[in-house]
Amino acid sequence: MVILNLIDGDFTPNETMDLITSLIHAKIKLHENKISAQAGEEDAKYREQRIKALQRQLYDLRNYVGLKKQSCIIHASVSIS
């Protein structure tokens, strides 16, 4: 197994939103590309639901971070096995 420590630190609210927004947009683009590649109907529906869920999570995060007046601590890693 390989573990990548992508983000680990203290960030301003703006930096936090920039980082997380970039990650979520990359994931959404991946799903959109898979849908465009003529995925089956069931797979396309799953990916559309996943895109909506990611958009909701980003919206919720914006609301949460928007209320914070202090820095945000982010720990994000990816494990590949």
pLDDT tens by residue, the chain, 81 residues: 999 999 999 999 999 999 999 999 999 999 999 888 876 888 889 999 999 999 999 999 999 998 888 999 999 999 999
**Spatial distance between the Cα atoms of 73 and 12, rounded to a whole number of angstroms:** 9
Task: Provide Rg for the chain, Cα atoms.
Answer: 15
- Tell me, what's the pLDDT at 39? 67
Output DSSP code: residue 81. -
What values do phi and psi take at 74, rounded to 5?
Answer: -120, 130
Predicted pLDDT of residue 61: 95
**Whole-model pTM?**
0.85
Q: How far apart are CA 70 and CA 13, in angstroms?
A: 7
The pLDDT score that the predictor gives to residue 27 is: 97
Q: Which residues contact 6 (CB under 8 A, 6 or more apart)?
A: 76, 77, 78
